[in-house]
Amino acid sequence: KAGVTQTPRYLIKTRGQQVTLSCSPISGHRSVSWYQQTPGQGLQFLFEYFSETQRNKGNFPGRFSGRQFSNSRSEMNVSTLELGDSALYLCASSFPDREYTEAFFGQGTRLTVV
């Protein structure tokens, strides 16, 4: 079974631009969560999508948004990029049932804002 796939792996953007990151979950997984990892703040939850609906949201500004498609693939968008948005963005998919609580992570997208 293929794992969680995130594209692109690396991205360099200029301050003020916007960016879209993509995540393809494991087949059959309907929940996709996004996390931001920085040296200063560590791993922080951005949001979770389930069946095309945002179900949970972390404490991030509205510049961070996402969506999920009918095939469970998810995209995350960051508008008006700031230098502080430079981070590793991780996507995790899971089958949100009580017995299947494991989240499988992708290898992440390294975003650098210059």
Binding-site ranges for other proteins (CB under 8 A): 31, 33, 35, 42-45, 48, 50, 55-56, 58, 88, 90, 92, 94, 96, 98, 101-108, 110
What distance in Å separates the CA atoms of residue 10 and residue 58, rounded to the nearest whole number?
A: 24
What distance in Å separates the CA atoms of residue 2 and residue 15, rounded to the nearest whole number?
A: 34
Residue 98 CB, nearest distance to other proteins (Å)? 7
Q: Which is nearer to other proteins, 81 or 87 (CB)?
A: 87
Under a CB-based contact definition with an 8 Å cutoff, are residues 54 and 66 in contact? yes
Q: Which is nearer to other proteins, 15 or 55 (CB)?
A: 55
Under a CB-based contact definition with an 8 Å cutoff, are residues 98 and 108 in contact? no
Q: Which two tokens stand for residue 65?
A: 């948004």
Residue 36 CB, nearest distance to other proteins (Å)? 11
